[in-house]
Amino acid sequence: MAVDVFFITSGFLIANSFFRRNSIISFVWARVLRIYPALFVAMIFCVLVVGLFFTKDAWSVYLLSAETHKYFIKNITLFSGVKYNLPGVFADTPYQHAVNGSLWTLPYEVKMYAYLAIIGLLLMHVHKWLGRDFLKPVFLCMALVSIAARIGNHFQPIISDEFIRLFAMFFIGTAFYAFRDNIRLSSKPVFLVLVVLALSISHKDFFFVVYSIALPYLVFYMAYVPAGRIRRFNQVGDYSYGIYIYAFPVQQSIAATIPGVDLVTMVSLSFAVTLILSLLSWHLIEKKFLKMKGSYIVIESLLKNMAIKARSE
């Protein structure tokens, strides 16, 4: 459910990022700055701090291992998936050998950026003749078809459920962005949805259908309707990505250090340590790199000069 919420939110925000920019290079550069600098540092932390401390291998063997190098390179590129294991690390934890299992969604996320960019570029060329409102029915159709495919795939699996699930959630988010001026967020439909969800909870398949259809509206209702002090947390920084990339290795470290750790201790310790790491990640890395978004102009200029030079030769 948390991953579904994340991809719905991501689809909405990334569509906003794409369509308010006049340059594909600006969009790609912004996404690179958001994902990769903090991820690079987190992988150094996993390999040289967590890995060295918990590995059962000799340090020289661990550092020279091809598996260690593969873990680092694969996880900072994301193009060919992710690698979870480091040699000799977390061999006795419940999730054996997995150092950062949360990373599994990142390759999907990067792919969704690419799909949106490709589809968006095509539509932006088409709308010159058909008008900008042409974007709305396209994203609506994509959202409806993908959510129908997700529900259908649940009952009759044909392809990887994770891909179709995340594709559906992401492009439902983009559809909400396209129709953002037309969607009315109201307590009455939310109350009705919650009642139907409560009634459907005893039947797994029926609940899945209701949940898949209702979740996006509930997400945006909770995001935009509550007001007051609850919104003050936005003022201290965006720690969400740091929490995402550090929580799993922290939890694994606690499980390895305190065998049989109880739930309350795990939640308390992991939240405190992860929050500190995510705070450092935001203020020392993410926020600083995000200030470099404007430097895409330099990259764009270099690419144009290279293209001109290539044509002249």
- Per-residue b or e along 45-75, where b marks 16 or more CB atoms closer than 10 Å to that residue's CB: bbbeebbeebbebeeeebbebeebeebbebb
Separation CA 218–CA 181 (nearest Å): 17
Output the 3-class SS for the chain: CHHHHHHHHHHHHHHHHHHCCCCHHHHHHHHHHHHHHHHHHHHHHHHHHHHHHHCCCCHHHHHHCHHHHHHHHHHHHCECECCCECCCCCCCCCCCCECCHHHHHHHHHHHHHHHHHHHHHHHHHHHHHHCHHHHHHHHHHHHHHHHHHHHHHHHCCCCCHHHHHHHHHHHHHHHHHHCCCCCCCCHHHHHHHHHHHHHHCCCHHHHHHHHHHHHHHHHHHHHHCCCCHHHHHHHHCCCHHHHHHHHHHHHHHHHHHCCCCCHHHHHHHHHHHHHHHHHHHHHHHHHHHHCCHHHHHHHHHHHHHHHHHHHHC
For 42, 43, 215, 280, the CA distances from 284, given in Å and listed in that order, are 12, 16, 35, 6
The pTM assigned to this predicted structure is 0.86
181 phi and psi angles, rounded to 5 deg: -85, -5
Q: What angle do CA 121, 307, 23 make, to 5 degrees?
A: 30
pLDDT confidence of residue 274: 96
Can you say how many angstroms the Cα of residue 260 is from the centroid of all Cα atoms in its chain? 31
pLDDT confidence of residue 215: 93
**Tokens 């340059």 belong to which residue?**
23
Separation CA 23–CA 135 (nearest Å): 18
In this predicted model, what pLDDT tens digit does every residue of 235-250 receive, in sequence order? Answer: 778 899 999 999 999 9
pLDDT confidence of residue 221: 93
Separation CA 39–CA 242 (nearest Å): 9
Separation CA 64–CA 83 (nearest Å): 17
Q: Which residues pair with 85 in a beta bridge?
A: 98
pLDDT confidence of residue 120: 80
pLDDT confidence of residue 134: 67
CB atoms within 10 A of CB 194: 12
pLDDT confidence of residue 119: 85
pLDDT confidence of residue 52: 95
Q: Show the tokens assigned to 148.
A: 């129908």
CB atoms within 10 A of CB 242: 25
Low-confidence ranges of the chain (pLDDT < 50): none
